[in-house]
Structure 1
Amino acid sequence: MTYIKNVETLEELKKAYKKLALKLHPDCGGSNEEMAQLNNEYDELFIKLKNTHKNKDGETYTKETTETPEQFKDIINQLFNLKMDGVSIEIVGTFIWLTGNTKPYKDDIKALEFRYSPKKYAWYKAP
């Protein structure tokens, strides 16, 4: 079974992974087997799409990145393991944004090396 479909860029891959991980992660009602298959698909597609991105006008371009597939998966899994009620995780381009009731989780979020944006009242992390 293929979980990730119709992705053309690294950003689309990350969004799809996060959405599927919310369904398939063992802590969210999925199984270890499903999550392992999702992780394998992500790794394969990451290598294929690693340097493919889209700009704000929807045009595809190539840019070298040193990010590894494990880095993004680890951050997403650590966020799920924190079980932060009232916190939304959003993938925007290469950024991960955390919004909502983040105050009780401030120290945990900082430990994951997120930064706070006072203008947006949100935490963010970029590779």
Structure 2
Amino acid sequence: MNREEILKEFKGIEGINEAKKIYKTLAKKLHPDMEGGNEESFKILNAVYTDLIEHKIYFSNDFKIDIELEKIISLILHFENITIELVGSWVWVSGDTKEIKEKLKELGFKWASKKKMWFYGEMKGRNPQEKSMEEIKSKYGSETLKSKEKKQIAS
């Protein structure tokens, strides 16, 4: 099985327990010691599953979004004059944020002083070579959920 076929198996899951069941079923089928299984497919399965677990990503139609991030986004969508971007597993907020600074802090956002933006999501560690937003977007992918001109969240 290739990556796309394995991802399709996880499509529509609603939680970690469902992901575990699918993983176990596929692992039994794709393990190199099993008839029809092979090392490459098993490695792909492990990579996909690890990504799901680490980022708590569950699939809804063709758009993947972390359930926790979806809640955070819904709490800030109504603010005006801001841009909300989903970049990898982080929510980034830019624009006129001075008036909502305390609310963002309450929700767990942190200020990235060099980028002049707020972010929500766990940073795994300090990178000695600071990346620009364009480099981060290029590496993890991005989706603008709301721009200063009041757009609705993608669904």
TM-score, normalised to structure 2, is 0.41
- Answer with 1 or 2: which has the greater Rg: 2
